[in-house]
């Protein structure tokens, strides 16, 4: 039997000047599922994504998904993509095994937690909002740090630079005045900055309609690490969410950051999705 992709309607414009297309998965002219290919235009290059993969129950475990993903990779290559990425929910272990078998490696994972009550203070340290005078230097350092993380995760230097800059522009279009932005410094008794937490309170909406906040950055100054300040910053993030009426908080962890993963899991955060990538 022959498994192919057939367009499900016309191609559409995608985010940032990219493109997107929904496809039917066909077996000898019979529809057995579908998927979507996305590509985002950044600096003349297209990072690509394969998503919304679904195969009807009677046709599962017959290699339909494998062939469909390989065909989708060919679409992304034709579009000029240098890499493909897939996102796999934690409750889909079969899809995760398929991604690994096709050469995808984990770049990062999403974690989440439901917040039920204000966290108890874990230290006597104080915190305050970031000032407008502090913001430019912080932003420059934050973009540079994010770029290095993306390079470590497997992106090329050009793509990492473009993504770091565009992601920050999208997340903070008007800096500190961006609606729903929490940017706070953790201070010692002398008022010196020990670390910074960045949270966006309006990242999205969960399937049940509940709002979702997102930890964008947890940063402790190198000379102050190993003293529990990351845990204190996360408690500040949870406090700010609950004060805003948001009870779900999520975050990303890059694959090699075992220390951060251990911290978040100790605070009750659990993996919700795996984000994997592959050069094309």
Model confidence pLDDT, tens digit, residues 220-257: 989 999 999 999 999 999 999 999 999 999 999 988 88
Place 206 in a pLDDT band, splitting at 50, 70 and 90: confident
pLDDT confidence band for 160 (50 / 70 / 90): confident
More confident residue, 165 or 120: 165
| pLDDT at position 169 over 60 | yes
* Residue ranges of domains in the chain, CATH in brackets: 3-103 (3.40.630.30), 113-273 (3.40.630.30)
Examine the pLDDT at 196 and tell me if it is beyond 90: yes
Residues of the chain with pLDDT > 70: what percent? 96
Residue that has been written with the tokens 């350092």 in this structure: 141
Average pLDDT, the chain: 90
Is the pLDDT assigned to residue 118 strictly greater than 90?
no
Contact by Cβ (8 Å): 12, 3: no
Q: Distance between CA 258 and CA 264 in Å, rounded?
A: 10
* DSSP letters for the chain: --EEEEESS--EE-GGG-EEEEEEEEETTEEEEEEEEEE--BTTBEEEEEEEEEE-GGGTTTTHHHHHHHHHHHHHHHTTEEEEEEEEETT-HHHHHHHHHTT-EEEEEEEEEE--SPPPP-SS-EEEEPPTTTHHHHHHHHHHHHHHHHHHTT--HHHHHHHHHHHHHHH-TTGGGSTTEEEEEEE-TT--EEEEEEEEEEEEE-TTS-EEEEEEEEEE-GGGTTSSHHHHHHHHHHHHHHHTT--EEEEEEETT-HHHHHHHHHTT-EEEEEEEEEE-
Question: Taking 90 as the threshold, does the pLDDT of residue 274 lie above it?
Answer: yes
Please tell me the predicted confidence (pLDDT) of residue 158.
82
pLDDT of residue 163: 81
Within its chain, how far is the Cα of 223 from the centroid?
28
Q: 40-91: per-residue pLDDT in tens?
A: 765 445 579 999 999 999 999 999 999 999 999 999 999 988 889 999 999 9
CA dist., res. 130 & res. 219, Å (int): 13
- pLDDT for the residue numbered 42: 56
Q: How confident is the model at residue 135 (pLDDT cuts 50, 70, 90)?
A: very high
pLDDT, position 104: 96
Q: Grade residue 153 by pLDDT with cuts at 50, 70 and 90.
A: confident
pTM, two decimals, is 0.86
130-to-24, 160, 247, 249 alpha-carbon distances in Å: 49, 26, 24, 21
Task: Render pLDDT for 8-29 as a digit per residue (tens, 0 to 9).
Answer: 999 988 766 788 999 999 999 8
**What is the C-alpha to C-alpha distance for residues 232 and 176, in angstroms, rounded to an integer?**
22
């Amino acid at each position: 039997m022959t498994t192919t992709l057939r367009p499900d309607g016309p191609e559409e414009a995608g985010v940032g000047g990219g493109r997107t297309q929904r496809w039917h998965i066909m077996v000898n002219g019979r529809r057995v599922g579908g998927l979507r290919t996305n590509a985002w235009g950044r600096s003349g290059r297209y990072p690509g994504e394969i998503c919304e993969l679904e195969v009807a129950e009677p046709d599962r475990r017959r290699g339909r998904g494998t062939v469909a993903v390989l065909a989708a990779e060919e679409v992304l290559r034709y579009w000029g993509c240098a890499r493909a990425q897939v996102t796999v929910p934690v409750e889909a272990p079969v899809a995760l095994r398929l991604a690994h078998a096709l050469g995808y490696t984990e770049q990062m994972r999403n974690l989440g937690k439901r917040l039920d009550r204000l966290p108890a203070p874990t230290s006597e340290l104080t915190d305050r909002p970031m000032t407008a005078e502090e913001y430019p230097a912080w932003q420059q350092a934050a973009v540079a740090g994010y770029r290095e993380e993306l390079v470590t995760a497997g992106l090329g230097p050009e793509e990492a630079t473009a993504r770091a800059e565009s992601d920050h522009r999208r997340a903070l279009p008007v800096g500190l005045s961006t609606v729903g932005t929490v940017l706070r410094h953790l201070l010692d008794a002398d008022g010196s900055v020990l670390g910074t937490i960045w949270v966006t309170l309006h990242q999205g909406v969960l399937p049940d309609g509940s709002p979702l906040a997102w930890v964008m950055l947890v940063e402790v100054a190198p000379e102050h690490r190993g003293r529990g300040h990351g845990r204190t910053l996360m408690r500040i993030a949870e406090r700010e969410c609950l004060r805003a009426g948001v009870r779900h908080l999520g975050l990303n962890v890059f694959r090699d950051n075992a220390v951060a993963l251990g911290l978040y899991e100790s605070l009750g955060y659990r993996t919700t999705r795996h984000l994997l990538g592959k050069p094309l």
